[in-house]
């Protein structure tokens, strides 16, 4: 009168079709995850070991007005930003060394 549980192993120890499908699915997902981790690791190694082109800037290459001292210098997106002690920020082109813009500090 009771219901018999389905057999979990057939002749020869084979798994039922649902468990075989689940086993294949887990195997495929495991291989995919391992491949993803390897790909991300490879991308990180490549990107972190890439050498960026250095920008050499000598403060003497930029002409400031007479009597103005240099407070700070920085390179931003191919432009050189020079801060003078007269309260002005001067933006120079890094290749031609010509002043592009003057911005007063407020």
Contact criterion met (CB below 8 Å) for 85 and 96: no
* Distance in angstroms (rounded) separating the CA atoms of residues 80 and 100: 10
d(CA 17, CA 24): 11
What local confidence, expressed as pLDDT, does residue 25 receive? 97
For 40, the 3-state DSSP assignment is helix
Please write the tens of the pLDDT for every residue from 39-91: 999 999 999 888 777 767 777 778 888 888 888 888 888 789 999 889 899 99
**pLDDT band, residue 36 (cuts 50/70/90):** very high
Which one has a higher pLDDT value, 22 or 8?
22
- Asked whether the beta carbons of 85 and 69 are under 8 A apart, the reply is yes
């Amino acid at each position: 009168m009771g219901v018999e549980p389905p057999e979990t192993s057939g002749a020869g120890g084979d798994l039922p079709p649902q468990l075989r499908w689940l086993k294949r699915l887990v195997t495929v997902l495991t291989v995919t995850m391992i491949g993803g981790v390897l790909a991300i690791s490879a991308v990180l190694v490549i990107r972190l070991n890439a050498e960026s082109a250095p920008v050499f800037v000598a403060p003497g290459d930029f002409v400031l007005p007479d009597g103005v001292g240099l407070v700070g210098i920085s390179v931003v997106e191919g432009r050189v930003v020079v801060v003078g002690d007269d309260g002005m920020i001067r933006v120079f082109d890094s290749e031609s060394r010509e002043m592009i813009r003057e911005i007063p500090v407020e």
